A and B are shown apart, each in its own frame.
Chain A
Amino acid sequence: MNETYIMPDYEIVRNAERCVRCMACVRLCANGAHIFDEKRGVLTADDSKCVNCHYCVANCPTKAIKIVRSDHCFKPSANYTEDVIKDIYRQADTGGVLLSSMGTTKSYPVYWDKMLVNASQVTNPPIDPLREPMEIRTFLGKKPETVKYRADGRLEAETHPNLMLKTPIMFSAMSYGSISKNAHIALARAAEELGTFYNTGEGGLHEDLYQYGANTIVQVASGRFGVHPAYLNAGAAIEIKMGQGAKPGIGGHLPGSKIGEDVSRTRMIPKGTDAISPAPHHDIYSIEDLRQLVFGLKEATDYKKPVIVKIAAVHNIAAIASGIARSGADIIAIDGFRGGTGAAPTRIRDNVGIPIELALAAVDTRLRDEGIRGRVGLVAGGSVRSSADVVKAIALGADAVYIATPALLAMGCHLCRSCHGGKCNWGIATQSPELVARLDPDVARERLVNLVTAWSREIMEMMGGMGINSIEALRGNRLMLRGIGLTQKELDVLGIRHAGE
């Protein structure tokens, strides 16, 4: 990252008194930021290489290292800010499109934080989840509309494949290639233990992971990487990725440096080539085409697996979702624009799409207005950061949520936003064997299980407080939400009232 005109963002500060010169940091930092100068016999650092991932900080035996934000500054301006200036230097250096990882860093409104949840007082008792049953089991998919009695009194209804989730939280798509095999194993094992699902992303499924198929959602994206009949039949559901919140309108991008032997075999592409999936699916130029792919996939899997269509939250989201609900898809997953990514053009990540809260509310309202909400399950993702966000998403109308960044954080990610570099010190967003070995899949699995278990408990606590003991009674229950500091238009789109109303 030696860039002309740009001073490093961070400084590595070493406490000389504490440092025992064990050289761990020199060996550990994949970016080569710590340097031992043999000639002078001094331990020093190259700040320009540091991505602020805290791996050295966490592993220094004497806690001698800290990373601080550099106080080196440009002349302050509210218009030409430091970020703006640096981005211009970078592009003048390379002539390239700026790339970023993880979700947008811009301060767009976070509507989750502008909604408050209700609780019962007097007229309606809160329910204590430690003492009463509290149900969060969720079925995802199409619901039958009509039911008939057979002569023997049994019920008969047309059935549709559904996913059964023990908690309304799933791990969203992160491809093998963008993240490591150990990270995938951890996600798969955690999903199995939690009774939920993880998602392969667009990179195919490593043969060692077929055993977790019952808790796997296999994705089919525009690049069709790693897609073959056995893959389609390996999972519990199939997801067609039409778009991703962090980069609506463009395809995935995996740099050749991340494509080694295993990734190349799994993706069915040559080693070392960039894997660039096209912006559209070249067989889907309209809603009728989507319908054909949905049914093509259903045919390939004997109508046994629900088909999810994942779309990025964009301006016309409600109408698009309504079209998808009529396309034969069983589940719609909406990905908001603050969602994460392994690599995306910075300008797209920061400027294209709309927030998940507004998209979700608009879609749920539209599907109900058209009387077709029961035809599809609705999954919301793209910056769901806590159990409170989950509760609010469900009250707005989601059946379940997708989380990815919190899952990475649970595994050790420090949000250094350098995934596209392929040198993740935490063994997550990398394919380098030494780095991957740093991530113990079972430790990571346990941390994922802990996280989702903790969130599930908190969801039950909040439901109990509202006097609700079954998640279906929270779904779409917008009276349980109140806006705080929102304009009337925002309240109208969210379909909620203001606090105090």
Chain B
Amino acid sequence: MDEEYDNVPVRDELREGNVRIPSGCAVFGCLSRSGRRMSASGAVDAMTYMHDRSNGLGGGFAGYGIYPDFPDCYAFHVFYDNEHAREETESFLKARFDISGMERIPTRKVYGIRGAPLVWRYFGVLRPEIAAHTPLDEEEYVCRSVIHINTKIKGAYVFSSGKNMGVFKGVGYPEDVGEYYRLGDYSGYCWTAHGRYPTNTPGWWGGAHPFNILNYTVVHNGEISSYDANRRFIEMYGYKCTLQTDTEVITYIIDYLHRRRGLTLPDVAKVIAPPFWSQIERMETSERERYTLLRNMYASLLVTGPFSIILGYSGGMMALNDRLKLRGMVAAEKNDVTYVASEECAVRAVCPEPDRIWYPAGGEPVIVELTEGNGK
């Protein structure tokens, strides 16, 4: 941790959600199309090479396929400021979910990690009597339960709520955060990672990336200038941007378009980073109609300003740059694994001789998924 921030207490009013904190960052992602479970240490190593893109105020990882013993359970990872928050949250969860496992997430002491909250995890399925009675579909119900805990229970924050996946994040350099959570003990078919460089002093654990909702995780590098246009639109549809971060709003946009509106991911990418009108005009009729419709319909979900994001979801990963490519992002392939990262050095750190390496154009998504038949 940089000394300049030592002894700078994180005042409550400076937490994410009370102020808007722009930040620059490093991102990394890898996915094995054959569903091979890879150790998290690769992702941790890759982040180490991009150390200078973070400033020790946030790092995190998301792994998919990491809980094969509980494949059908929601895995809730929760930060607690105190025991009281834990008791309240646990009674809330137990009233709604059949909990088949709960524990403190194993951690180890690491120099450079401070201010750690209590970190717990729970595995559970929605109680059948609740599923039968709620007018909401199951995912929406879970989603709202998470939002309830995060906004109504003081001192509790659910930072991961998907199935057979999990987020591990905190304040510190990403490699230290990986060490802290003993990530070497986990393996999954997909990992995404984030190192944070917020241009402000606070560092709250919940504010680190990846940002998660259900199975979606987003890591993001950049500062979007469309933030308030996006936020004010998405808040019309029941979302509440409590953290005031770019990543949060981007995650909600994806959740809205992909899960709730049923758009395919390539179309989601074209809403967020659409082709220019001049390009649309040159397209053949059916394409032109498609992109004109999407652009017009979801005009307020267009995201401008520099960004590179990696979306993790059940069975796949999508990387996307803003349409001017104002943030670096490289993609590479070796055998069954696809890599994406802010910098090429991060890929080469874990895969020195890729079969193919390329720089995806702005607005062109890189989407990789498990090949048919490979378990999630």
CB distance from A411 to the nearest CB of B (A): 30
CB distance from B235 to the nearest CB of A (A): 7
CB distance from A78 to the nearest CB of B (A): 42
In the bound complex, residues from chain A placing their C-beta under 8 Å from that of B199 are 122-123
Are A124 and B236 interface neighbours, CB within 8 A? no
CB distance from A399 to the nearest CB of B (A): 9
CB distance from A303 to the nearest CB of B (A): 18
Which of the residues A135, A146, A373, A473 comes within 8 Å of B226, measured between beta carbons? A473
Are B306 and A124 interface neighbours, CB within 8 A? yes
Are B22 and A155 interface neighbours, CB within 8 A? no
In the bound complex, residues from chain A placing their C-beta under 8 Å from that of B227 are 477, 479
* Interface size in chain A (residues, C-beta < 8 A): 40
A291 at the interface (CB under 8 A from B): no
Looking across the interface, which residue of chain A has its beta carbon closest to that of B267? A155
Chain B contacts with A in 290-305, Cβ cutoff 8 A = 290, 293-300, 302-305
A476 at the interface (CB under 8 A from B): yes
Mask of B301-337 contacts with A, CB within 8 angstroms, 1/0: 0111110000000000000000110100000000000
In the bound complex, residues from chain A placing their C-beta under 8 Å from that of B354 are none
Chain A contacts with B in 128-158, Cβ cutoff 8 A = 132-133, 135, 137, 139, 143-144, 146-149, 154-155, 157
Chain A contacts with B in 414-470, Cβ cutoff 8 A = 466-470
In the bound complex, residues from chain A placing their C-beta under 8 Å from that of B294 are 147, 155
Which of the residues B224, B233, B293 comes within 8 Å of A157, measured between beta carbons? B293
* Interface size in chain B (residues, C-beta < 8 A): 46
- CA A485 to CA B13, docked complex, whole Å: 25
Instruction: Please judge, given known A-B contacts A143-B296, A146-B261, A368-B236, whether A477 and B276 are in contact too, CB under 8 Å.
Output: no
Are A143 and B228 interface neighbours, CB within 8 A? no
Are B302 and A477 interface neighbours, CB within 8 A? no
In the bound complex, residues from chain A placing their C-beta under 8 Å from that of B232 are 368, 476-478
Chain B contacts with A in 125-165, Cβ cutoff 8 A = none
CB distance from A79 to the nearest CB of B (A): 44
Which of the residues A139, A143, A472, A478 comes within 8 Å of B302, measured between beta carbons? A472
Are A124 and B22 interface neighbours, CB within 8 A? yes
Instruction: Please judge, given known A-B contacts A137-B277, A479-B228, A480-B228, whether A124 and B305 are in contact too, CB under 8 Å.
Output: yes
CB distance from A147 to the nearest CB of B (A): 7
CB distance from B59 to the nearest CB of A (A): 19
- CA A148 to CA B297, docked complex, whole Å: 13
CB distance from B325 to the nearest CB of A (A): 11
In the bound complex, residues from chain B placing their C-beta under 8 Å from that of A469 are 304, 323-324
In the bound complex, residues from chain B placing their C-beta under 8 Å from that of A466 are 225
Are B296 and A477 interface neighbours, CB within 8 A? no
Which of the residues B226, B237, B295, B297 comes within 8 Å of A468, measured between beta carbons? B226
In the bound complex, residues from chain A placing their C-beta under 8 Å from that of B117 are none
Looking across the interface, which residue of chain A has its beta carbon closest to that of B224? A124
Q: Do most interface residues of chain A lie in helix, strand or loop, or is the interface mixed?
A: loop
A120 at the interface (CB under 8 A from B): yes
B7 at the interface (CB under 8 A from A): no
Looking across the interface, which residue of chain A has its beta carbon closest to that of B235? A368
B229 at the interface (CB under 8 A from A): yes
- CA A373 to CA B235, docked complex, whole Å: 11
In the bound complex, residues from chain A placing their C-beta under 8 Å from that of B23 are 123
Chain A contacts with B in 231-286, Cβ cutoff 8 A = none
Are A473 and B290 interface neighbours, CB within 8 A? no
CB distance from B252 to the nearest CB of A (A): 15
Are B235 and A123 interface neighbours, CB within 8 A? no
CB distance from A468 to the nearest CB of B (A): 5
Instruction: Please judge, given known A-B contacts A127-B324, A368-B232, whether A473 and B22 are in contact too, CB under 8 Å.
Output: no
CB distance from A463 to the nearest CB of B (A): 9
A61 at the interface (CB under 8 A from B): no
In the bound complex, residues from chain B placing their C-beta under 8 Å from that of A127 are 324
Are A477 and B229 interface neighbours, CB within 8 A? yes
A475 at the interface (CB under 8 A from B): yes
Are A479 and B20 interface neighbours, CB within 8 A? yes
Are A133 and B225 interface neighbours, CB within 8 A? no
Mask of B228-268 contacts with A, CB within 8 angstroms, 1/0: 11101101110000000000000000000000011110010
In the bound complex, residues from chain B placing their C-beta under 8 Å from that of A480 are 225, 228
A162 at the interface (CB under 8 A from B): yes
B360 at the interface (CB under 8 A from A): no
Instruction: Please judge, given known A-B contacts A124-B22, A157-B297, A368-B232, whether A473 and B324 are in contact too, CB under 8 Å.
Output: no
B286 at the interface (CB under 8 A from A): yes
In the bound complex, residues from chain B placing their C-beta under 8 Å from that of A120 are 225, 305
Are B304 and A155 interface neighbours, CB within 8 A? no
In the bound complex, residues from chain B placing their C-beta under 8 Å from that of A474 are 226, 229
B100 at the interface (CB under 8 A from A): no
Which of the residues B276, B286, B297 comes within 8 Å of A147, measured between beta carbons? B297
Are A144 and B236 interface neighbours, CB within 8 A? no
Are A476 and B237 interface neighbours, CB within 8 A? no
In the bound complex, residues from chain A placing their C-beta under 8 Å from that of B298 are 143
B91 at the interface (CB under 8 A from A): no
In the bound complex, residues from chain B placing their C-beta under 8 Å from that of A296 are none
- CA A154 to CA B294, docked complex, whole Å: 12
Are A155 and B261 interface neighbours, CB within 8 A? no
Are B296 and A139 interface neighbours, CB within 8 A? yes
B223 at the interface (CB under 8 A from A): yes
Are A473 and B306 interface neighbours, CB within 8 A? no
B42 at the interface (CB under 8 A from A): no
Are B24 and A133 interface neighbours, CB within 8 A? no
Looking across the interface, which residue of chain A has its beta carbon closest to that of B326? A125
- CA A442 to CA B297, docked complex, whole Å: 37
Looking across the interface, which residue of chain B has its beta carbon closest to that of A124? B223
Are B225 and A123 interface neighbours, CB within 8 A? no
Are B304 and A468 interface neighbours, CB within 8 A? yes
CB distance from A434 to the nearest CB of B (A): 46
Binding site for B on A (CB under 8 A): 120, 122-125, 127, 132-133, 135, 137, 139, 143-144, 146-149, 154-155, 157, 159, 162, 368, 371, 373-374, 466-470, 472-480
Binding site for A on B (CB under 8 A): 20, 22-24, 199, 222-230, 232-233, 235-237, 261-264, 267, 276-278, 286, 289-290, 293-300, 302-306, 323-324, 326
Q: List 16 A-B contacts (CB under 8 A).
A: A124-B223, A139-B296, A143-B296, A147-B263, A154-B286, A155-B293, A368-B236, A371-B237, A373-B236, A468-B225, A468-B304, A470-B304, A475-B299, A476-B233, A477-B227, A479-B228
Smallest CB-CB A-B distances: 8 pairs: A473-B226, A467-B225, A479-B228, A472-B299, A477-B229, A124-B223, A473-B304, A371-B236
A123-B223, A472-B229 known; 4 other A-B pairs, CB under 8 Å? A123-B22, A123-B24, A148-B262, A469-B324
